[in-house]
């Protein structure tokens, strides 16, 4: 987590509106908000700004249940550990309580926890949807022992300015100013989304790359719910690579989504793929290329995202399995992702995980490659000479010339005689040839746009035909004019 920007952490018991407050302060939907208790598990971090002051805002999971209650969620201990870690780094804590419930035994436990931290605390008395409730908020929560109590209502966006003004008063005035200038001047980090079906090791990989238990890991499928952005700087051969890792929820089949929270989790994952610069697509090496793996692969391909396939749990694969056999199976069962390089790894054992940073660095370099028009057209001439396009009847598909339009992803425009004459397999062949020539082992999709344009010979022949037709019309007009004059003279003689 960034040490330059001040860190503001939102804490509180479950279902008091922490995620709703988080989204209200940022003025956008980042965390999943639902009436179900315990929706947020991992801490969600996002940069925010208020009146020119920049900060990092952290949404945390609800701080468990009362110790006398028997029903304890399996994730409560993990959530408490995560909250304790982030509280140590916080500059200010926003403690969210519920006006409608008043002070509960859980709030008393949270108060004891926060007093031990020694951090400045501002209480956000949330769900104050009417004037009377907001007027009673200060007296209602004064017994907690904190002076700063701000009534808020996330539903009606009430009290947000008062809350943030008081919070930022407790933050050193210089904090965040230097970082703001640096952030504007530096290039944005590469966004890398880690996607896959549930329980393939996505969160374990993120924790391994970070070198800490940043996100929750368990054998229970669906542990991760939010799409969590985590900035990190990876080192590769002495080169620093700034990256924003996006840990996503496992993508289930539509038939298996039976709750609103799972629906929102899937939506967050799809959005993470759309805004990512690169996708790390994780599959299970012991059970690769399932139907759901193929569905996820199609989503990545449709979004035209660079992709690296990571076959995790290689240490659990059957004895005697060879790397070439697994790669060949992936290529055979997911041919639409033949452009994506495959890396076999074991996050648990640390096998091949360090190679990921090398792959990311290579992709970043390849994403900046532009192909000059002269070089690209020479490549086209050589490719067409070696493997000419097939003919359809008496007509043959022709490519006159091509240009590179943009990158990433690499997009090329080919000017041709007729698009319908180009078979799909030949278009795929050209994409593969372009990738091998200019973007090897980068997992970049190649986009080819075919535009119809008549050949120079066709334009010349068309001009000749038009000139001949015009000459013929002129001759016919002159002939008719002569015939009219002759007829006119004959009429005069007869008269």
Q: Is the pLDDT of residue 394 over 60?
A: yes
| pLDDT of 303 strictly over 80 | yes
Whether 94 contacts 163, CB under 8 Å: yes
The torsion angle over the Cα atoms of residues 256, 262, 263 and 266, rounded to 10 degrees, is -90
- Residue 48: per-residue pLDDT: 83
- State residue 213's pLDDT score: 65
Highest mean pLDDT among 41-55, 71-85, 210-224, 367-381: 367-381
Which of the residue ranges 297-306, 420-429, 473-482 would you say has the lowest mean pLDDT? Answer: 473-482
Q: Tell me what the mean pLDDT of segment 105-125 comes to.
A: 87
Q: Name 376's bridge partners.
A: none
Average pLDDT value for the chain: 79
pTM for this structure? Answer: 0.63
CA distance 306 to 439: 11
Task: Output phi, psi for 249, to 5 deg.
Answer: -75, 150
Residue 331 backbone dihedrals phi, psi, to 5 degrees = -65, -35
Note the pLDDT of residue 363: 86
The model's confidence at residue 218, banded by pLDDT at 50, 70 and 90, is very low
Mean pLDDT of 5-22: 86
Position 261 confidence tier, pLDDT thresholds 50, 70, 90: very low
pLDDT at 1: 46
- What's the whole-number mean pLDDT along residues 175-204? 69
Mean pLDDT value across residues 394-401: 86
Query: Which is higher by pLDDT, 219 or 409?
Result: 409
Can you give the pLDDT at residue 456?
52
- Locate 292 and state its tokens: 């759901």
- Residue 288 burial (CB count, 10 A): 22
Four-residue CA torsion sign, 88, 89, 94, 96: negative
**Which tokens sit at 360?**
């990311």
Question: With contact defined as beta carbons under 8 Å apart, do 326 and 317 qualify?
Answer: yes
Distance of CA 491 to the CA centre of its chain: 89
331-365 confidence digits (pLDDT tens): 999 998 888 889 999 988 889 888 888 888 888 88
* Nearest in space to 290 (alpha carbons), one of 192, 196, 226: 196
Q: What percent of the chain clears pLDDT 70, i.e. is strictly above it?
A: 79
For residue 129, pLDDT beyond 70? yes
Q: At what angle do helices 18-26 and 160-169 cross, to 10 degrees?
A: 90
CATH class for domain 7-184? alpha beta
pLDDT score recorded for residue 286: 86
Residue 184 confidence class, pLDDT cut points 50, 70, 90: very low
Cα 451 from Cα 49, distance rounded (Å): 46
Cβ contact 398:455 at 8 Å: yes
Proportion of the chain above pLDDT 90, given as a percent: 10
Q: What is the pLDDT of residue 219?
A: 46
Distance CA 364, CA 84 (A): 36
Residue 39 has pLDDT above 60, yes or no: no
- Mean per-residue pLDDT, 133-156: 85
* CATH 3.40.50.300-classified regions of the chain: 7-184, 187-367
Confidence of residue 457 (pLDDT cuts 50, 70, 90): low
Q: Is the pLDDT of residue 234 over 50?
A: yes
pLDDT for 77 equals 58
**289 versus 230: which is more confidently predicted?**
289
Determine the pLDDT at residue 275: 85
pLDDT at 392 over 80: no
How many CB atoms neighbour CB 315 within 10 A? Answer: 15
94 touches 6 (CB < 8 A): no
| Domain range 187-367, its CATH number among 2.40.100.10, 3.50.50.60, 1.10.10.10, 3.40.50.300 | 3.40.50.300
In which residue ranges of the chain is CATH 3.30.300.20 found? 373-452
Mean pLDDT of 183-196: 73
Q: Calculate helix-pair angle for 355-367, 202-210, nearest 10 degrees.
A: 90
* Predicted pLDDT at 433: 92
Residue 177: its pLDDT value, please? Answer: 52
pLDDT band at 30 (very low <50, low <70, confident <90, very high): low
Q: With contact defined as beta carbons under 8 Å apart, do 128 and 99 qualify?
A: yes
pLDDT in tens, 62-101: 775 444 444 444 445 566 777 788 888 888 999 998 888 8
pLDDT of residue 34: 38
Question: In the CATH hierarchy, which top-level class contains the domain 373-452?
Answer: alpha beta
């Amino acid at each position: 987590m960034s040490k330059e920007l001040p860190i503001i952490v939102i804490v509180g018991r479950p279902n008091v509106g922490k995620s709703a407050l988080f989204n209200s302060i940022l003025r956008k939907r980042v965390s999943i908000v639902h009436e179900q208790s315990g929706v947020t598990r991992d801490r969600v971090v996002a940069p925010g700004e208020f009146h020119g002051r920049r900060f990092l805002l952290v949404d945390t999971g609800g701080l468990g249940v009362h110790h006398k209650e028997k029903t304890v969620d399996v994730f409560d201990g993990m959530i408490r550990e995560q909250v304790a870690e982030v509280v140590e780094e916080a500059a200010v804590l926003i403690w969210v309580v519920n006006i409608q419930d008043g002070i509960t035994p859980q709030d008393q436990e949270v108060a004891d926890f926060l007093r031990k931290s020694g951090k400045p605390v501002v209480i956000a008395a949330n769900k104050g949807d009417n004037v009377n409730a907001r007027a009673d908020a200060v007296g209602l929560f004064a017994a907690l022992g904190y002076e700063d109590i701000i009534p808020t209502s996330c539903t009606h966006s009430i009290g947000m300015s008062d809350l943030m003004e008081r919070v930022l008063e407790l933050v050193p005035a210089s904090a965040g100013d230097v970082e703001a200038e640096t952030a504007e001047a530096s290039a944005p980090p590469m966004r890398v989304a880690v996607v896959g079906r549930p329980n393939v090791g996505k969160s374990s990989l993120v924790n391994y790359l970070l070198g800490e238990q940043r996100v929750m890991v368990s054998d229970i499928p669906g542990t991760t719910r939010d799409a969590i952005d985590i900035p990190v700087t990876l080192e590769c051969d002495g080169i620093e690579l700034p990256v924003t890792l996006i840990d996503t929820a496992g993508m289930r089949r539509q038939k298996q989504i039976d709750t609103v929270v799972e629906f929102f989790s899937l939506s967050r994952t799809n959005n993470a793929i759309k805004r990512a610069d690169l996708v790390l697509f994780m599959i299970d090496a012991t059970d690769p290329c399932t139907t759901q793996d193929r569905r996820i692969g199609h989503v990545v391909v449709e979004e035209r995202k660079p992709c690296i396939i990571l076959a995790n749990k290689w240490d659990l694969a059957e004895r005697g399995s060879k790397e070439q056999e697994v790669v060949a199976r992936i290529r055979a069962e997911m041919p639409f992702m033949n452009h994506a390089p495959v890396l076999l790894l074991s996050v648990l054992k640390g096998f091949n995980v360090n190679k990921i940073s090398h792959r990311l660095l290579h992709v970043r370099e390849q994403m900046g490659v532009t192909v000059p028009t002269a070089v690209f057209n020479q490549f086209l001439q050589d490719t067409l000479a070696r493997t000419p396009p097939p003919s359809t009847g008496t007509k043959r598909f022709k490519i006159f010339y091509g240009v590179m339009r943009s990158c990433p992803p690499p997009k090329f425009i080919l000017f041709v005689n007729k698009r319908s004459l180009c078979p799909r397999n030949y278009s795929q062949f050209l994409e593969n040839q372009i990738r091998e020539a200019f973007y090897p082992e980068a997992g970049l999709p190649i986009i080819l746009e075919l535009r119809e344009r008549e050949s120079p010979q066709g334009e010349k022949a068309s001009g000749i035909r038009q000139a001949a037709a015009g000459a013929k019309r002129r001759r016919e007009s002159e002939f008719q004019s002569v015939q009219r004059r002759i007829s006119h003279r004959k009429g005069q003689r007869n008269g």
